[in-house]
A = this chain, B = another copy of it.
């Protein structure tokens, strides 16, 4: 399984990914799902992957080969949307070539090219893509449901980069707790708008102080939050129809 997400903010972009994959015979593989591309001062792109590992690795390998051998590549395309179209094409070709019918495989591609605003795209197996909105400034791939409520409660495009990254960490932690097939190391990347530099990239292992501390603090805070909630109203304070 996999959980990856990306958030588009006024201040920049946040990317997060887990590193756990279960192979078809049940083996647990640990492998990074965050891949960075770019030229400092010109463009930065981050790719997150979910689904069939053979397909995603073949796609990433093709993107890297194209950097050397094709005029059309992640260093030459002039928009993030154009890069997502190109990725969608490579993805579709790879699936067709290997007869991959797994529809859970998909990618998130985000970044900034030149003076365009930073953007994030989710690329589907059909080769098409969607982007974020003001109302839903994030995209998720893989095991997305467990970690969605905290994103829905806290994120909007005006959220600060660091705060959004903490929100992403909570979302990741909730997912790892509820599905053991999503697991550390957690990779986190904070890209500051208009920097056109690789950004702050962290790799948090299972025993990372920060991962443990954020989990401990969040649980303690939630516990305290929980205890201040109003008690369930006594019968009669609300309508209480009997079936």
Question: Interface residues, chain A, CB within 8 Å of chain B?
Answer: 32, 34-36, 145-150, 152-154, 162-163, 165-167, 169-170, 174-175, 177-178, 188, 190, 198, 200-205, 208, 210, 213-214, 217-219, 221-235, 237-243
Contact = CB atoms under 8 A, between A and B. Distances in A.
Interface centre among A201, A204, A231, A238 (most CB of B within 10 A): A238
Copies per complex of this chain:
2
Contacts of A169: 232
A69 B145 CA distance: 44
A32 B229 CA distance: 26
A153 B166 contact: no
A238 B201 CA distance: 9
A36 to B, nearest CB: 6
A74 to B, nearest CB: 14
Contacts of A177: 149, 152-153
B241 A203 contact: yes
A205 B240 CA distance: 10
A151 to B, nearest CB: 9
Contacts of A152: 177-178
A217 B233 contact: no
Contacts of A221: 221, 224-226, 228-229
28 contacts: A36-B242, A36-B243, A145-B146, A147-B149, A149-B174, A149-B177, A152-B178, A153-B219, A153-B222, A154-B226, A162-B231, A166-B229, A167-B226, A169-B232, A190-B232, A201-B242, A202-B235, A202-B240, A203-B239, A203-B240, A203-B241, A210-B233, A210-B237, A217-B229, A217-B230, A221-B225, A221-B226, A222-B222
